Each structure stands twice: as structure tokens, then as C-alpha cells.
Structure 1
Amino acid sequence: MSRYLASRAVEIVVTLAIMSLVVYLLIGLMPGDPIDLMISGDPKMTSADAARLRAVYGIDKPLLDRYLAWAHQALIGNFGYSRSFNQPVLAVLGPRLLNTVELAGIAFFLAIGIALPLGIWTAARPHSRADYLVNLFCFAGISTPPFWLALLLITLFAVTLGWLPAGGIAELRAGTGWAAALGQKVRFAILPVVTLALVQLGTYTRFMRSAMIEVLRQDYVRTARAKGASERRVLLGHAFVNALAPVLTVLALSFGALFSGALITETMFAWPGMGKMIYQAILDNDYNLALVGLLIATFATIAGNLLADLALVWIDPRVSLSSRLQ
């Protein structure tokens, strides 16, 4: 276990280092820089002022030297300031990361909680009317653009019925009780959570159904049925555990998307999360903010794969950590 975790820790550090260099270079090679944006906003700024500001921000140095200076500061825990927010990067990221975890995390686990049982249920009844209906629903969910689904939900529940707010996030006043605060947060989160859950639901259900159908064709399943095992035991005790392995990989890859944010959904519902922030930081040439945000998304994806490997070893005794190193 310790050897495996040490090996994965080295991989994480190397991957983050390479990713930080690549992202920094890509952002740095974009046309224009923060000083150009300042010049466009202040026509009275002279070329001497622009040159002085470039020297202050270090933009006059070669791109690789700028990256090495940033990496040195990052190693001691200083990720710099966000130019567009005039705050430390971590101070800007903290609340938005929490908002994204609340939104996408609830949607993720809600989709899993519905998709896995639904996939098992349809796999036990292949080519039935219920199976066709669920497949139709899944294909509709996969094919529906998130922005269009968000517009439909806003039109129905916010505009027509007036039950829920159309967007934004709950602003809690001082002295608000915990029950009232929770109720306000839930009201604002329902529509974006449902949108994200429906978008993911079809994919997870299809993967679970396909994996279960493949496992149910195996000889050991037929042997279990021949020995008189109940259908519930066959599905949950024999087939589900083995079918879960490939689905875990898909879920692990989706885990990283939680921390990069759902750009379209966050934009449609004016939800201040990671996706919208990273997108705006790239447009504003806010190097520090965009870079750290993308590194958090990279780390979350790697961590999700690590958790998937550990979960696979836990649910399948045939798999060992030593085999994962090969």
C-alpha cells in the first residue's frame, strides 16, 4: 500500500508540474496581455506608463523566466494575486470552489444514486418495454444541450409557475436561522442541480446497464442461478460487484469535472462557481487565477482516478495494488 501511494504521489507531482508549465505557456502565448487591457480601458495611458507597468508585473521578461518565478513562489505557498479581482488567488478561489462542490457534488451523487439502480433494473429486463423507455430517456438526456434544458426549467418553474428563483445564489443576512438559511440555499440550488443531474444521468445509466448485461452473460452467473440463488442475490451479490469496475473509471473521470465547474450551467443560472471563474480569468489574461483553477481541476481528476483504483481493490479481491503499478 505505502509503495503504491508513494508511486502515485510522485506521479501527481510530476503531472501537476508539467500541467502548470503547459497551461502557463498557453495562456502566455495568447494575444495581448493584462497591460493591453488596461490601455484599452484608459486611453490616456502613455507608452512609458505601459512599459513601467509591464516591468512591475514582470511581463517584460521572457515567458519561461516568468513561469520559473511563479513556480518558485508557488512552492512556498504564494500563488500570487488575481489581477481582475485585486485579491489573493486563494481568497478568490475558496468561495467559488465551495459553491461548485455544493452544486456539482450534489448533482453528481444524485445522478449516481438514481443511475446505478436504474441501470441494474433495466439490465435485468433487457428489451422489455421498461428498458426501451429508460433507454429513450437516457438518449434524450445525453442529446439535450444543457443550456436548452436550463432554459426550459427556468421558463417552467421560475417564469410560468414562479416556484423557484431563476438564478443566482442565496445571500444570507446576519441573524438568519440555520433552518431558514438551508431553505434559501435549497431553493436557489434546485434548478441548477436538477439540470446537472439530468445531463449526467443518461450517461451513467447507460454505462451501468451495459456493464450489467455483459456480466449477466458470464458462466458464474448462470452457475449461481443453477444453484438456486435468488434473482436479487444474483444481481446484487454476483453481477453488480463485477459490473461496477468499469463504471468506477467513468465516475472517476467525472469527479474532476466537479472542480473545474459546469461552465454552461453556472452561466445560465448565474452561479458563481469554478467553471465561470476559470473562463473569465482566461479571457481577462488573469494568469495566476486561471492557472491555479486549472491545476485544481487537474488534481481533482488525478485524485478521482486514485480513489477509483482504491475502490476497485476494495470491491474486487482479484485486483491488488501491486498489479495497478504494472
Structure 2
Amino acid sequence: MSRYFVSRAVQTIFTLAVMSLVVFLLIGLMPGDPIDLMISGDPNMKSEDAARLRAAYGLDRPLLERYLAWAGEAVQGNFGYSRSFGQPVLTILWPRLLNTLLLAGSAFVLSVAIALPLGIWAAAHPRSRADYLINLFCFAGISTPPFWLALLLITLFAVFLGWLPAGGMAYPRPDTPWSVALAEQLRHLVLPVVTLTLVQLGPYTRFMRGAMIEALRQDYVRTARAKGAPERTVLWRHAFANALAPVLTILALSFGGLFSGAVITETMFAWPGMGKAIYQAILENDYNLALVGLLLATAATIAGNLLADLGYAWVDPRVSLAADQP
């Protein structure tokens, strides 16, 4: 087991190093740089001043040399400053990472808790009225654009009914009771969490239904039924344990993608999270902020894959994490 984790740690470091190089080169090849934005904001800036600024920021050096300089500082824990905010990158990203974890994590847990039982029920009652309704709901969720769903929810619950805020995040005063602050935070969290949950619910349910139908066709399920095992035992102890393994891969990949892929939801509801920060950093040529944000998203995806591997070993005793296994 320890050899396995050492191997995964080496793979993670190598992946993050390659990813940082690729992202740095892609951002560096984008047209324009921060100095061009300064020139557009101040047409009276002289070319000599622009050249001095490029030299001061190191923008006049080759891309590979700039990357090596950045990587040397990053190894020491210095990821640079955000040009847009004028603060260290980690100072900017850390609270946004927590906000995204709160939003995406809540939606992920809620969608999984709903999708897995729905998929199992639909697979256990194929071609029934409930199965058709579940499939219709799933296809509607998959086909609905997230921004349009967000607009519908804002229009209904914030504009017409006035039950919930249209967006933003609650910032209670220090003297506010914790119960009131928590309730206000939950009110701001409801609409974005519901939007992300509905977007993820359809694919998760369909994957669970497909995996369960495949598992219910296996010989060991027919054998268990022939021995007189209750249907509940057949579904949960035999079929579900084997059907969960392929679904774990989908859940792990989607969980990592939530840290950078929730940009539409975060933008629609003005939620200060990672996705919105990365998007704005790319638009504003904020190299350090965009690079570190994308690396954190990559690390989240790698962590999701590691959790999926551990989940395989948990649900299937035949899977071994020993490094000497093929």
C-alpha cells in the first residue's frame, strides 16, 4: 500500500509539472500581455516606458526562461502576485477555493444521494412508468443549458416569488448571531446548489441505471435469485456493489472538473469561486492567477482519481492496490 501511494505521489508531481509547463506556454502564446492592457488604458504611455515595464516584469525574456524562473520560485512556495488584485496568488485563491468547495461539494453530495437511488429504482423496474418518467427527467436535465436553468430559477424564486436572493454571497457583520449568519448563507447557497445539482443529476442517474441493468443480467444475480435471496439483497448486496465500480470513475472525473467547470453557475449567481476567478484571470492576462488556478483544478482531478481507485478496492475485494499487482 505504501509503495502504491509513493508511486501515485510521483505521478502526481510529474503530471502537475507537465501541466504547469503546458498551461504557462499556452497563456504566454495568447495575444497581448499585461503591458498592452496598461497601454490601452493609458494611450499617452511612451514606448520606452512600456519596454522598461516589460523588462521589470520579465516579459521580454523567452517563454521557457520565464517558466523556469516561475517554477524555481514555485518550488519554494512563492507562486507570484496577481496583477489584477495586487496580492499573492494564494491569498486570492484560498477563499475562492473554499467557496467552490462549499458550492460544488454540496451539489455533488446532493446529486449523488439522489441519482444513485433513482438509477437503481429505474434499473429494477425497466420499461415501467416510473422508468420512463425518470428517463424523461434525466434527458431534460442533460439537454438544459446551465445558464438558462439558472435564469429560470432566478426569475421564479428571486424575481416573481422573492423567496431567495438572486446571487452573491452573504457577508454578515461580526456581531451577527451564528444562527442568523448560517441561515443567510444558506439562502444565498440554495439557487446555485440546485442549479448544479439538476445539471449533474441526469448524467449520474443514467450512468447508474445503465451499470445496474448490466449487473442485473449477470449469472451471479440469477444464481442469487434462484437460491431464494430477497430482491432487496439481490439489488444492494450483489448488483449494486458490482455496478458501482464503473460509476465511481464518472463521479471522480466530474468531481475534479467541478473546481474549474462551475464557471457558468458561479458567473450567473455572482458566486466568488474558482471557476469565475480562472475565467477572469484569463480574460485579464493575469498569468500567475490563471496558472495556479488551473493547477489546483488539475490537482483536484488527480485527487478524484485517487479516491476512485480507493473506492474500487473498497467495493470490489478482487481489486488490489499493491504496487506489485498487474
Question: TM-score, length-normalised on structure 1?
Answer: 0.98
Taking the aligned partners of 1:139 and 1:172, their CA distance within structure 2 comes to: 39
How many residue pairs were aligned?
326
Q: 2:26 is matched with which residue?
A: 26
Decide whether the 8 Å contact of 2:3 with 2:323 is kept in 1.
no
Give the RMSD, CA atoms, in angstroms: 1.0
Q: 1:296 is matched with which residue?
A: 296
Taking the aligned partners of 1:97 and 1:322, their CA distance within structure 2 comes to: 33
Q: Which residue identity is paired with 1:300?
A: A
Q: 1:233 is matched with which residue?
A: 233
Structure 1 unmatched ranges of 5 or more: none
Query: Residue deviations 1:287-310, cap 9 Å, x none?
Result: 100000000000110110011001
Query: What fraction of aligned residue pairs are identical, expressed as a percent?
Result: 77
Decide whether the 8 Å contact of 2:4 with 2:323 is kept in 1.
no
Q: 2:178 is matched with which residue?
A: 178
Q: Which residue identity is paired with 2:66?
A: R
Taking the aligned partners of 2:325 and 2:112, their CA distance within structure 1 comes to: 28
Q: 1:125 is matched with which residue?
A: 125
Query: Residue deviations 1:223-278, cap 9 Å, x none?
Result: 11111111111100111000000000000001112322401111111111111110
Taking the aligned partners of 2:298 and 2:16, their CA distance within structure 1 comes to: 7
The structure-2 alpha-carbon separation of the partners of 1:154 and 1:325, relative to structure 1 and needing over 3 Å to count, comes to farther
Q: 2:17 is matched with which residue?
A: 17
Structure 2 unmatched ranges of 5 or more: none
Q: 1:281 is matched with which residue?
A: 281
Decide whether the 8 Å contact of 1:16 with 1:299 is kept in 2.
yes
The structure-2 alpha-carbon separation of the partners of 1:226 and 1:111, relative to structure 1 and needing over 3 Å to count, comes to same
Q: 1:169 is matched with which residue?
A: 169
Matches within 5 A, 1:100-249: 100-249=100-249
Decide whether the 8 Å contact of 1:4 with 1:325 is kept in 2.
no
Compute the displacement of 1:322 (Å).
3.5
Q: 2:254 is matched with which residue?
A: 254
Taking the aligned partners of 2:49 and 2:80, their CA distance within structure 1 comes to: 22
Taking the aligned partners of 1:170 and 1:112, their CA distance within structure 2 comes to: 26
Taking the aligned partners of 2:76 and 2:324, their CA distance within structure 1 comes to: 32
The structure-2 alpha-carbon separation of the partners of 1:323 and 1:75, relative to structure 1 and needing over 3 Å to count, comes to closer
- Where in structure 1 do 4 or more consecutive aligned residues deviate above 2 Å? 322-326
Q: 1:77 is matched with which residue?
A: 77
Taking the aligned partners of 2:259 and 2:161, their CA distance within structure 1 comes to: 32
